[in-house]
C-alpha cells in the first residue's frame, strides 16, 4: 500500500470540507462503509456510514453552511492519518464551535476514506462587552489561528 503524504491528505480534506459546506451527497461518499462516528447530535457512537447517513442526510443535503477549519494538524501514522482541528460552523443564523478529529485511511486503490469522525462541542464564544460584533470576534480568531499555524501550537 502506498505511503500517505500530508499534502495528499490535505487535498482530500479540502474537497471533503467543500462538500460539507455545500450540503452535497459526496460528503457521505468520503466515509468508509464501516466508519464510526461520535456526533454532537447523538448520545451514542454511530456505526457505519449508512446509519450516519440515515440520521443526518435529511437536515444536511442542499443546505449551505460555512465551515472554518482552524489550526488543523495532520499526523501520519503508518497507513492512516489522524487529523485534528477546531471547526466553527455557521448555518443560517446559528454558529457551533466544535473540536473535531478524523482518521483517514488509504485503500489499496489509492483513494482516501474517513474511517472515524469525532466531533465534540466547545463552549460558546461570547461577544465582549466592548460591543464587538461576532464578525470581529471571528476575524480575531482567524488571525490567532493563522499566527498559531505559522509558529506552531503549544504541546
Residue 143 pLDDT: 60
Higher pLDDT: 60 or 138? It is 60
Instruction: Classify 107 as helix, strand or coil.
Output: coil
Q: What would the DSSP string read from start to end of 62-96?
A: T---EEEEEEEEEEEETTEEEEEEEEEEEETTEEE
Summarised one tens digit per residue, pLDDT across range 5-44 is 999 999 999 999 999 999 999 999 999 999 999 998 888 9
Residue 148 pLDDT: 53
Euclidean distance between CA atoms 23 and 13, whole angstroms: 15
Residue 109 pLDDT: 81
Instruction: Classify 128 as helix, strand or coil.
Output: coil
88-108 burial string, b = 16+ CB within 10 Å, else e?
bbbbeeebebbebebbbbbee
Q: Indicate whether 104 pLDDT > 50.
A: yes
Cell reading at 106: 488509504
Euclidean distance between CA atoms 116 and 120, whole angstroms: 13
Amino acid at each position: 500500500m502506498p505511503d500517505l503524504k500530508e499534502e495528499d491528505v490535505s487535498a482530500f480534506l479540502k474537497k471533503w470540507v467543500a462538500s460539507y459546506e455545500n450540503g452535497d451527497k459526496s460528503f457521505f461518499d468520503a466515509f468508509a462503509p464501516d466508519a464510526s462516528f461520535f456526533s454532537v447530535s447523538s448520545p451514542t457512537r454511530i456505526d457505519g456510514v449508512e446509519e450516519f447517513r440515515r440520521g443526518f442526510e435529511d437536515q444536511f443535503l442542499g443546505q449551505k453552511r460555512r465551515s472554518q477549519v482552524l489550526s488543523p494538524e495532520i499526523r501520519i501514522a503508518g497507513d492512516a492519518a489522524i487529523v485534528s482541528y477546531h471547526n466553527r460552523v455557521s448555518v443560517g443564523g446559528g454558529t457551533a464551535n466544535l473540536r473535531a478529529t478524523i482518521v483517514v485511511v488509504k485503500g489499496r486503490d489509492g483513494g482516501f476514506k474517513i474511517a472515524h469522525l469525532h466531533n465534540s462541542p466547545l463552549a460558546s464564544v461570547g461577544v465582549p462587552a466592548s460591543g464587538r460584533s461576532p464578525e470581529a470576534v471571528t476575524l480575531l480568531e482567524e488571525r490567532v489561528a493563522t499566527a498559531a499555524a505559522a509558529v506552531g501550537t503549544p504541546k
